[in-house]
Amino acid sequence: QSALTQPASVSGSPGQSITISCTGTSSDVGGYHYVSWYQQHPGKAPKLLIYEVSNRPSGVSNRFSGSKSGNTASLTISGLQAEDEADYFCSSYTTTSTTVFGTGTKVTVL
Amino acid sequence: QVQLQESGPGLVKPSETLSLTCTVSGGSVSSSNYYWSWIRQPPGKGLEWIGYLYYTGTTNYNPSLKSRVTISVDTSKNQFSLKLNSVTAADTAVYYCARGILVITTTSGAFDIWGQGTMVTVSS
Protein backbone atom coordinates (compact mmCIF):
# COMPACT_ATOMS: atom_id res chain seq x y z
CA GLN A 1 0.00 0.00 0.00
CA SER A 2 1.29 3.44 -0.86
CA ALA A 3 1.45 6.28 1.66
CA LEU A 4 -1.13 9.02 1.26
CA THR A 5 0.32 12.21 -0.21
CA GLN A 6 0.63 15.34 1.93
CA PRO A 7 2.57 18.55 1.30
CA ALA A 8 5.93 18.46 3.04
CA SER A 9 5.40 21.81 4.70
CA VAL A 10 2.79 24.49 5.26
CA SER A 11 3.28 27.79 7.03
CA GLY A 12 1.16 30.65 8.27
CA SER A 13 1.17 33.64 10.56
CA PRO A 14 -0.54 33.69 13.95
CA GLY A 15 -4.28 34.12 13.58
CA GLN A 16 -4.37 32.91 10.00
CA SER A 17 -5.99 29.74 8.70
CA ILE A 18 -4.08 27.02 6.92
CA THR A 19 -5.20 23.85 5.16
CA ILE A 20 -3.29 20.59 4.81
CA SER A 21 -4.30 18.18 2.06
CA CYS A 22 -4.14 14.39 2.09
CA THR A 23 -4.53 12.66 -1.26
CA GLY A 24 -5.16 8.98 -1.73
CA THR A 25 -7.19 6.78 -4.05
CA SER A 26 -10.64 5.29 -4.32
CA SER A 27 -9.26 2.30 -2.39
CA ASP A 28 -8.67 4.37 0.71
CA VAL A 29 -9.55 8.05 1.21
CA GLY A 30 -12.10 8.18 -1.59
CA GLY A 31 -13.81 4.95 -0.72
CA TYR A 32 -14.54 5.37 2.97
CA HIS A 33 -15.55 7.86 5.62
CA TYR A 34 -12.61 6.75 7.77
CA VAL A 35 -9.98 9.47 7.55
CA SER A 36 -8.17 10.57 10.69
CA TRP A 37 -5.71 13.35 11.45
CA TYR A 38 -2.91 13.43 14.03
CA GLN A 39 -0.68 16.12 15.52
CA GLN A 40 2.83 15.21 16.63
CA HIS A 41 5.18 17.47 18.53
CA PRO A 42 8.92 16.61 18.52
CA GLY A 43 9.72 13.63 20.70
CA LYS A 44 6.08 12.99 21.50
CA ALA A 45 3.52 10.41 20.48
CA PRO A 46 0.92 11.45 17.90
CA LYS A 47 -2.37 12.89 19.18
CA LEU A 48 -5.69 12.20 17.49
CA LEU A 49 -7.27 15.44 16.23
CA ILE A 50 -9.96 14.27 13.82
CA TYR A 51 -11.64 10.91 13.13
CA GLU A 52 -14.21 9.81 10.57
CA VAL A 53 -13.28 12.76 8.34
CA SER A 54 -14.68 15.56 10.48
CA ASN A 55 -15.28 14.44 14.06
CA ARG A 56 -13.24 15.88 16.92
CA PRO A 57 -12.49 13.83 20.05
CA SER A 58 -13.42 15.40 23.34
CA GLY A 59 -10.86 18.00 24.37
CA VAL A 60 -9.61 18.86 20.88
CA SER A 61 -9.92 22.54 20.00
CA ASN A 62 -12.64 23.51 17.52
CA ARG A 63 -9.93 25.40 15.63
CA PHE A 64 -9.21 22.04 13.99
CA SER A 65 -11.67 20.87 11.34
CA GLY A 66 -11.67 18.16 8.70
CA SER A 67 -13.37 17.57 5.38
CA LYS A 68 -13.15 15.34 2.32
CA SER A 69 -13.85 15.64 -1.39
CA GLY A 70 -13.28 12.68 -3.65
CA ASN A 71 -9.87 11.15 -3.00
CA THR A 72 -8.57 14.15 -1.04
CA ALA A 73 -9.11 14.91 2.63
CA SER A 74 -8.22 18.21 4.26
CA LEU A 75 -7.37 19.49 7.72
CA THR A 76 -7.93 23.17 8.41
CA ILE A 77 -6.38 24.95 11.37
CA SER A 78 -8.09 28.25 12.11
CA GLY A 79 -6.68 31.03 14.25
CA LEU A 80 -3.17 29.59 13.99
CA GLN A 81 -1.23 29.65 17.27
CA ALA A 82 2.41 29.10 18.11
CA GLU A 83 1.54 25.81 19.82
CA ASP A 84 0.18 24.48 16.51
CA GLU A 85 3.73 24.22 15.16
CA ALA A 86 4.13 20.47 14.78
CA ASP A 87 3.99 17.61 12.30
CA TYR A 88 0.58 16.51 11.05
CA PHE A 89 -0.32 13.11 9.62
CA CYS A 90 -3.48 11.82 8.01
CA SER A 91 -4.54 8.18 7.92
CA SER A 92 -7.21 6.19 6.13
CA TYR A 93 -8.91 2.83 6.25
CA THR A 94 -8.33 0.78 3.08
CA THR A 95 -10.18 -1.84 1.06
CA THR A 96 -8.06 -4.60 2.62
CA SER A 97 -9.00 -3.48 6.16
CA THR A 98 -5.54 -2.06 6.76
CA THR A 99 -4.55 1.48 7.71
CA VAL A 100 -2.32 3.72 5.64
CA PHE A 101 -0.73 6.93 6.88
CA GLY A 102 0.11 10.09 5.00
CA THR A 103 3.64 11.28 4.33
CA GLY A 104 3.34 14.01 6.94
CA THR A 105 3.29 17.82 6.88
CA LYS A 106 5.43 20.13 8.96
CA VAL A 107 3.47 23.21 10.02
CA THR A 108 5.49 26.32 10.77
CA VAL A 109 4.04 29.35 12.52
CA LEU A 110 5.83 32.41 11.17
CA GLN B 1 -7.83 6.62 32.20
CA VAL B 2 -6.46 4.05 29.77
CA GLN B 3 -2.71 4.07 29.33
CA LEU B 4 -0.41 2.04 27.12
CA GLN B 5 3.24 1.26 27.83
CA GLU B 6 5.69 -0.38 25.45
CA SER B 7 8.55 -2.51 26.75
CA GLY B 8 11.34 -4.53 25.21
CA PRO B 9 14.99 -4.44 24.13
CA GLY B 10 16.27 -1.18 22.67
CA LEU B 11 18.94 -2.92 20.62
CA VAL B 12 18.48 -5.91 18.31
CA LYS B 13 21.09 -7.55 16.08
CA PRO B 14 20.52 -7.86 12.33
CA SER B 15 18.71 -11.07 11.28
CA GLU B 16 17.33 -11.56 14.79
CA THR B 17 13.78 -11.08 16.08
CA LEU B 18 12.46 -7.83 17.51
CA SER B 19 10.04 -8.47 20.38
CA LEU B 20 7.98 -5.79 22.10
CA THR B 21 5.11 -5.88 24.58
CA CYS B 22 2.40 -3.31 25.20
CA THR B 23 0.79 -3.30 28.64
CA VAL B 24 -2.71 -1.84 28.88
CA SER B 25 -3.67 -0.21 32.17
CA GLY B 26 -6.94 1.43 33.20
CA GLY B 27 -8.85 -0.61 30.63
CA SER B 28 -9.14 -4.05 29.12
CA VAL B 29 -7.50 -5.47 26.02
CA SER B 30 -10.65 -7.62 25.79
CA SER B 31 -12.93 -4.64 25.16
CA SER B 32 -15.24 -5.20 22.21
CA ASN B 33 -15.15 -1.50 21.28
CA TYR B 34 -11.47 -1.28 20.42
CA TYR B 35 -8.66 -2.97 18.58
CA TRP B 36 -4.91 -2.80 19.20
CA SER B 37 -2.17 -1.79 16.82
CA TRP B 38 1.55 -1.38 16.42
CA ILE B 39 2.85 1.62 14.49
CA ARG B 40 6.46 2.64 13.89
CA GLN B 41 8.34 5.77 12.92
CA PRO B 42 11.92 5.67 11.60
CA PRO B 43 14.05 8.59 12.80
CA GLY B 44 13.03 11.78 11.02
CA LYS B 45 10.39 10.01 8.94
CA GLY B 46 6.66 9.39 8.86
CA LEU B 47 4.38 6.88 10.54
CA GLU B 48 4.04 3.32 9.26
CA TRP B 49 1.18 1.09 10.35
CA ILE B 50 2.45 -2.41 11.19
CA GLY B 51 -0.71 -4.30 12.03
CA TYR B 52 -3.64 -4.79 14.34
CA LEU B 53 -5.15 -7.37 16.62
CA TYR B 54 -8.62 -7.79 18.01
CA TYR B 55 -8.95 -9.51 21.37
CA THR B 56 -10.53 -12.55 19.71
CA GLY B 57 -7.18 -13.11 18.02
CA THR B 58 -8.12 -11.70 14.64
CA THR B 59 -5.13 -9.97 13.05
CA ASN B 60 -4.25 -8.01 9.94
CA TYR B 61 -0.84 -6.79 8.84
CA ASN B 62 0.78 -4.26 6.55
CA PRO B 63 1.36 -6.17 3.30
CA SER B 64 4.96 -4.95 3.17
CA LEU B 65 5.71 -6.54 6.56
CA LYS B 66 3.25 -9.42 6.59
CA SER B 67 5.80 -12.18 6.03
CA ARG B 68 7.84 -11.10 9.07
CA VAL B 69 5.24 -9.90 11.60
CA THR B 70 3.20 -11.56 14.31
CA ILE B 71 0.95 -9.70 16.75
CA SER B 72 -0.54 -11.65 19.63
CA VAL B 73 -2.53 -11.02 22.79
CA ASP B 74 -2.32 -12.25 26.38
CA THR B 75 -5.67 -11.35 27.92
CA SER B 76 -4.62 -12.71 31.33
CA LYS B 77 -1.85 -10.13 31.50
CA ASN B 78 -3.79 -7.42 29.64
CA GLN B 79 -0.96 -7.19 27.12
CA PHE B 80 -0.41 -7.52 23.42
CA SER B 81 2.88 -8.15 21.68
CA LEU B 82 4.80 -7.62 18.47
CA LYS B 83 7.34 -9.93 16.91
CA LEU B 84 9.23 -8.86 13.81
CA ASN B 85 11.76 -11.36 12.54
CA SER B 86 14.78 -11.14 10.26
CA VAL B 87 15.32 -7.48 11.13
CA THR B 88 17.65 -5.14 9.27
CA ALA B 89 18.80 -1.58 9.82
CA ALA B 90 15.66 -0.45 7.97
CA ASP B 91 13.63 -1.64 10.95
CA THR B 92 15.29 0.90 13.24
CA ALA B 93 12.46 3.10 14.50
CA VAL B 94 10.38 4.31 17.40
CA TYR B 95 7.70 1.67 17.91
CA TYR B 96 4.32 2.74 19.26
CA CYS B 97 1.43 0.67 20.48
CA ALA B 98 -1.98 2.29 20.08
CA ARG B 99 -5.67 1.71 20.70
CA GLY B 100 -7.89 1.85 17.66
CA ILE B 101 -11.57 2.74 17.61
CA LEU B 102 -13.91 0.09 16.20
CA VAL B 103 -16.89 1.45 14.27
CA ILE B 104 -19.32 -1.46 14.41
CA THR B 105 -16.94 -4.05 12.93
CA THR B 106 -14.67 -1.68 11.01
CA THR B 107 -11.14 -0.93 12.15
CA SER B 108 -11.52 2.76 11.51
CA GLY B 109 -7.86 3.71 11.59
CA ALA B 110 -8.52 6.20 14.36
CA PHE B 111 -6.04 5.67 17.17
CA ASP B 112 -7.15 7.57 20.24
CA ILE B 113 -4.61 6.40 22.78
CA TRP B 114 -0.90 5.87 22.17
CA GLY B 115 1.99 4.63 24.22
CA GLN B 116 4.96 6.92 24.66
CA GLY B 117 6.94 4.93 22.11
CA THR B 118 10.13 2.92 22.44
CA MET B 119 13.22 3.34 20.28
CA VAL B 120 14.56 0.13 18.77
CA THR B 121 17.90 0.15 17.01
CA VAL B 122 19.00 -2.69 14.76
CA SER B 123 22.77 -2.92 14.85
CA SER B 124 25.50 -5.47 15.46
What is the least distance, in Å, from the CA of B119 to any CA of chain A?
Answer: 11
pLDDT score, position A45: 98
What is the least distance, in Å, from the CA of A38 to any CA of chain B?
Answer: 9
Express each pLDDT in B35-64 by its tens digit: 999 999 999 999 999 999 988 889 999 999
Chain A CB contacts of B45 under 8 Å are 104
Express each pLDDT in B100-119 by its tens digit: 998 877 888 899 999 999 99
Beta strand extents in B1-124 (DSSP E only): 3-7, 11-12, 18-25, 34-41, 48-53, 59-61, 69-74, 79-84, 93-103, 106-114, 118-122
Chains A, B: CB contacts within 8 A come to 76
CB contact under 8 A, A1 and B63: yes
Q: How far apart are CA A75 and CA A41, in angstroms?
A: 17
CB contact under 8 A, A45 and B116: yes
CA distances from A23 to A28, B79, B110 (A): 9, 35, 17
pLDDT at B32 over 90: no
CB contact under 8 A, B108 and A34: yes
Q: Are A48 and A38 in contact (CB under 8 A)?
A: yes
Residue in chain B nearest A92 by alpha carbon = B109
Confidence tier at B81 by pLDDT (50, 70, 90): very high
Q: Are B102 and B34 in contact (CB under 8 A)?
A: yes
Express each pLDDT in A6-64 by its tens digit: 999 999 999 999 999 999 999 999 999 999 999 999 999 999 999 999 999 999 999 99
Q: How many beta carbons lie within 10 A of that of residue A69, not counting itself?
A: 10
pLDDT score, position A19: 98
CA distances from B19 to A79, B10, B53, B93 (A): 43, 10, 16, 13
Residues in chain B, total: 124
Alpha-carbon torsion, ordered B46, A8, B112, B110, to 10 deg: -90
